[in-house]
Amino acid sequence: MRITALAGGIGGSRFIRGLLAHLAGAYPDGEGGTTAEVTVIGNTGDDIWVHGLRICPDLDTVMYTLGGGISTERGWGREGETFTAKSELASYGVEPTWFGLGDKDIATHLVRTQSLAAGYSLTEVTAALCARWKPGVILLPMSDDRAETHVVVDDPSGATDDKGRPMQIAIHFQEWWIRYRAALPAHSFAIIGIDTAKPAPGVLDAIENADLIIFPPSNPVVSIGTILSVPGIAEAIRGATAPVIGVSPIVGGSPVRGMADSCLQAIGVATSAAAVAAHYRARTAGGFIDAWLVDEVDAEIVDDVVALGISCRAVPLMMTDVAATAKMAAECMQAVRA
């Protein structure tokens, strides 16, 4: 059984942790130790250079979460982290001061940055880092090429053009997300380099040879949407022989965590589980998904999703702990079998 999942950071990695627990038969209705090979295609649109270090927040969140090194409280970065280097850098007045760079985490970024500088690809570097963390999945970046999400906003300095209209500038996704908490209205997203980015080695194979493809509850715009923007990946998903099932990151009209509503608003999609399903569209209608899970609180929209040609059920979708998340993974497998 080969399962391929597209993933952002926190939502994606937590879901996959539950999926692995389910596959290992760790819970009563688990698979009883199914031998499954899970490949995770990680979003690298959030990647950024900070103080000379190459940082891949979503890949690291997957690696640390599945490898047991994640901070349970924050959901990103390392457990038992300190931020001495970050405050020392701030004392020098060097920007960016808003990026959460932990001391333990810096070791990962140093290894990555040096390996990239030595000529290794991001795929190779990610595999090398995973040799330590043993995430239990094959973790692939969506691309080895630079494809960085930027957000077009009104210049926060208030600058205007000669007609007095606000100047629009593109800032890095991380600056918009962390520094401005996604509160600056986004006009659009621009993924720098996406036109010439190629899927990383193994990505298209993992989609073509999968028995099941999952879109976990990751951000539909800046995580899954970015991965689908890499030329070739969308076509591969549309043409895959495996069923594609998605898990809604929107519950009761809001993101469970984070600011996905600001991202959806920017692309004109309502913040609802049904609107996100409609945005992905049925594969029978040229879209990406065959099945969609919504939370129990959204049970009334199941018929609307089914009317779009997408099979849909309402089940508990809150990843409160690994057991609850494993149950969600079990629901995915059942939905696909049905």
Residues that bind ligand GDP (CB under 6 A): 7-12, 58, 61, 217-219, 223, 248-249, 251, 255-258, 260, 317-319
Helix, strand, coil percentages in the chain from 3-state DSSP, rounded to 5:
40, 20, 40
Which of ligand GDP, Ca ion, none lies near 258, with the C-beta cut-off 5 to 8 A by kind? ligand GDP
User: What DSSP designation does 53 have?
Assistant: E
Cβ at position 243, least distance to ligand GDP in Å: 20
Residue 22 vs 172, nearer CB to Ca ion: 172
* H or E element in which residue 83 lies: none
Cβ at position 329, least distance to ligand GDP in Å: 12
CB 230 within 8 Å of CB 147: yes
Cβ at position 11, least distance to Ca ion in Å: 9
CB 164 within 8 Å of CB 182: no
Residue 36 vs 247, nearer CB to ligand GDP: 247
Residue 7 vs 269, nearer CB to ligand GDP: 7
Residue 115 vs 248, nearer CB to ligand GDP: 248
Burial, 85: exposed, middle or buried (Cβ in 10 Å; 0-12, 13-18, 19+)? Answer: middle
Residue 192 vs 256, nearer CB to ligand GDP: 256
Which of Ca ion, ligand GDP, none lies near 218, with the C-beta cut-off 5 to 8 A by kind? ligand GDP
CB atoms within 10 A of CB 119: 7
CB 38 within 8 Å of CB 20: yes
CA nearest 192: which of 148, 144, 141, 143?
148
User: What DSSP designation does 45 have?
Assistant: T
Q: Which chain residues interact with Ca ion by CB under 5 A?
A: 8-9, 46, 58
Cβ at position 116, least distance to Ca ion in Å: 20
Cβ at position 9, least distance to Ca ion in Å: 4
